[in-house]
Each structure stands twice: as structure tokens, then as C-alpha cells.
Structure 1
Amino acid sequence: MKKIILFFGLVLSQVVLSQTKPIKDIAQELQIIGENDQKDRAQIEYIQSKYGSQSPEMNALWKSIGTSDSINIIKVSAILDRYGWLGPQEVGEEESKTLFMVVQHADLPIQEKYLPLMRKAVIDKKAKSSSLALLEDRVALRQGKKQIYGSQIAWDMKNNRNYILPLEDPDNVDKRRAKVGLPPLTDYIAYWNMKWDPEQYKKDLPEIEKMQQMKKK
């Protein structure tokens, strides 16, 4: 399946890159890509609560999400490589956000490729600094570093709880979040019924880092 998707992607990329489309056509394409990005993800909580996180139904959903992501990043890469980062004033608010969402859901090499482009887009006011912060965190963790803004949460199956993935300088995380327009960490993690205690987190951090190392093996 992956070989088929990659072949399809190479053909599709060449077709897209060989043409210059009107911005309105790109906006319409991004709208469809955005819908495809969220369609299966909207079912995650329902499928997980009904069948369980390790169920065949959940595995099938993740497989479908993976296939959709592979196709979406091919299309978005072709757009970014030809037109650069398109802002809300060019393609619309949601359509511009789709560029971020698809890159956010891509593999590390793709994220590393477009991270500098998104950084420039924030300077040019074509992307939100709050969105960039989420991508910065995801890339940092995948590179084996600590996240900066505390946006990445994981599930500990052994202790049946959510936890914040390795975070740099926990004492000042809210200052960093405020600078990029993110709410305090206490408010953010309340969605997962978590409480933020910097002192306790610093005590737990060695164990959290150990868990992350085990997952990589």
C-alpha cells in the first residue's frame, strides 16, 4: 500500500508542480484536504470509548488516518513547494490552517522540511505563532529533545493516566506560552482532567523521560 501511495504521490506532485493554478482553485483544494484530514479524526474518541484503544476497530481507524495523511501531505507539499506558505488573506482562514494541520500530522522529515517555512510565515503574518508552537514541540520531541510549550500529551497505559511529554524549564512554561498566544498550561491540560504542578512535574520528569526511551526501543 505504501509503495502505491508513494508512486501515486510522485505522479501527483509532478502534475501539480507543472501547473499554476488560480488561488481560488487552491483554496478549494485545501478545503477538501482539510475535510479529509479531520473526517476520521473526528471519530477517534467515539471509537476508542466504544471499542477500546487496542481494538481492531481502533486499529482500522488509525490505518485509514495514516492512508489519508499520506495522500494529504503529497498534495500540500506540492502546494508549499510551488506557492510557499499561503496565508488567510490569500486562501482563507481555515484553508491556510489546513497547511499547518497536514504538516503537523506528517512524518518528521516532512515537518523538518517545512518548519523553517512556517517560521517565516509567522513573521510574515501568514500563520499563527500558536500553531507554530505546536509544530515546534512535536519536532523537538521527535528529535529526542524536550518540548518548549507543553503542547504534547501522552497516555500511560500502565498507570491509566495522561501525562505531559518531556518539557524544558517547567517553571517558565506559561511565560513562553503567553508569548505565542497560548493559554496557561493549567487551562490547556484541564481538557484531559489533569492538574499542573511544576514542582511535582520536575520530580516525575526522570520517569517520564525513561518511559519515552522505552517507547523508542
Structure 2
Amino acid sequence: MFKRVCILSILLFSINSMLAQSSTSDTIETTLNSIWKSDQEIRFELIKLQQEGKMKSDEFQLLVEKMKKQDSLNLIQVKSILDNGWPDNLNMQANQTIFLVIQHADLQTQKQYLPIIKNAVEENKTLPSNLALLKDRINLREGKEQIYGSQVFIDSQSGKKYVQPLQNPEKIDSLRAEVGLPPMQVYLKQSFQMDWSLETYYHDLPEIKKLIEEKSK
């Protein structure tokens, strides 16, 4: 009888523990879903204005400031979530939200959470492509070349789009394939309505380097 009571107690404890974990995951997902909405809505508005050639408008600049404030608020919430490690059992959108908030943060924050995202990739909690995109952004902010070609520069004066400097342009598609990213031609066409060729990249490289240098002054 005692043995049965012990087994029943263990089972009840396990069930209660699972329910508590499920409840925690649901709460975190609800928070992250709200963050996703606030992160993406502003950026969709900016993309729309960009496509309309309004990057120098007051409306665009006000929206950029609004985005920066919202990013700061979102980062506070995501940091509090990551204080306990990358959560288990999150849906895809919730996982992507954590990554996006770190991707949109300042350089110091990106570098701080890079090992956590790397560990999450190793534990199959987030996508290898997320780690690749974060590495690209960190590299460029540190004055280095990007690895995976994820970052595009848009000249606010001319509206022309450039692939930012690459470490290994000749092998870019194979490097992207290793982390689950599509070929450059597919990515650029879908995301930026751009065509990709090594010839164009090398032709534009001096100009993009000049533009980046001018922007950093």
C-alpha cells in the first residue's frame, strides 16, 4: 500500500511539474507574441515608406525614433526571459522573436547574447540561420566583413541597394547553405527585389565601402 502511495505521489508531482512548465511556456509565448507584433508592425511601415522613396521624410524619421524606443522596451522583456536561459518548448514564432529582439539591439547586447544563441542552436532550440545573421551584423558593426551576405545597405540619397562587404564572395552560396539559408539570388530577389552576381558585387564594392565610411563619420 505504501509503495502504491509513493508511486501515486511521484506521478502527481510529475504531472504538476509538467503542467507548471506548460503554463510558464504559455505565459512566455503570450509575452513574445506581443513583442513580435510590436517589432514587426513598425518595420513593415518603414519598408512601405522606403519602397515609396520616403526615407528622407519626417514621417520616416519619426517612425525610426518610435522603433528605437520600442526596441528598447522589447529588449528589457527578452532579457528578463533569457536570465533563466533559453526557454524550452516554445513555438517557432516565439523563438524567432527572441532572436529578432537581440538582432535589433546594440552591439554590446548582441555580443553579450551571442554565446546564448550559439548554445540554443546546439540544443536545437533556435535555427542555425539566426546565429549566422547575428554574426553578420556583429562583424559589420565591428568594421569587419560579413560571412553570409545577410546585410544590405540602402543609400538614402539614391535609394540604390548594395550587398555589404563579404569575407568570401566566391563561396557565399555554399556558406549560406551550411546554415540553412537560401542562395543569394533567391534571398535578394525575395527580400530586396535585387539581382545577384559576383560581377555586380565587385563593381559596386568600392562605392559601398565609400558610402559606409561616410556614414560612420
Question: TM over 0.5: same fold?
Answer: yes
Aligned to 2:185: 186
Q: What is residue 40 of structure 2 aligned with on the other side?
A: 38
1:84 maps to: 85
Q: Residue 162 of structure 2 contacts residue 204 of structure 2 at CA under 8 Å; is this kept in 1?
A: no
Deviations 1:141-168 (A, max 9, x none): 0011000010100112454410101111
Tell me if the contact between 1:130 and 1:182 (Cα under 8 Å) persists in the aligned partners.
yes
- What corresponds to 1:69 in structure 2? 71
Q: Which runs of 5+ in 1 are unaligned?
A: 1-19
Partner SS for 2:162: strand
Cα RMSD of the aligned pairs, angstroms, is 1.9
Computing the radius of gyration over CA atoms, which structure comes out larger, 1 or 2?
Answer: 2
Superposition pairs for residues 22-171 of structure 1, below 5 Å? Answer: 22-49=24-51, 52-81=54-83, 83-87=84-88, 90-171=89-170
C-alpha deviation, 1:200, in angstroms: 3.6
Contact in 2 for aligned 1:51/1:57 (Cα 8 Å) = no
> Which amino acid is 1:197 matched to?
S
Mapping 1:201-212, distance limit 5 Å:
201-212=201-212
Which amino acid is 1:140 matched to?
Answer: N
Q: Which amino acid in 2 is paired with 1:208?
A: I
The aligned amino acid for 1:86 is P
The answer on whether the counterparts of 1:108 and 1:142 sit within 8 Å (CA) in structure 2 is: yes
Question: Aligned partners of 1:158 and 1:23: how far apart in 2?
Answer: 45
Task: Call closer, same or farther: CA 1:121–1:73 in 2, change over 3 Å.
Answer: same
Structure 1 residue 44: Cα displacement: 1.5
Task: Indicate the SS of the match to 1:22.
Answer: helix
The residue type paired with residue 207 of structure 1 is: E
Partner amino acid for 1:85?
Answer: W
- Normalising by structure 2, report the TM-score: 0.83
**Which whole-Å CA distance do the structure 2 matches of 1:64 and 1:172 have between them?**
38
In 2, Cα distance between the equivalents of 1:115 and 1:205? 28
Task: Point out the more displaced range, 46-55 or 174-183.
Answer: 46-55
Distance 1:24 1:193, change over 3 A: closer
Scaled by the length of structure 1, what TM-score is found?
Answer: 0.83
Report the number of matched residues: 195
Q: 1:175 to 1:79 in 2, by over 3 A?
A: same
Percent of residue pairs bearing the same amino acid type: 40
Structure 2 partner of 1:10: none
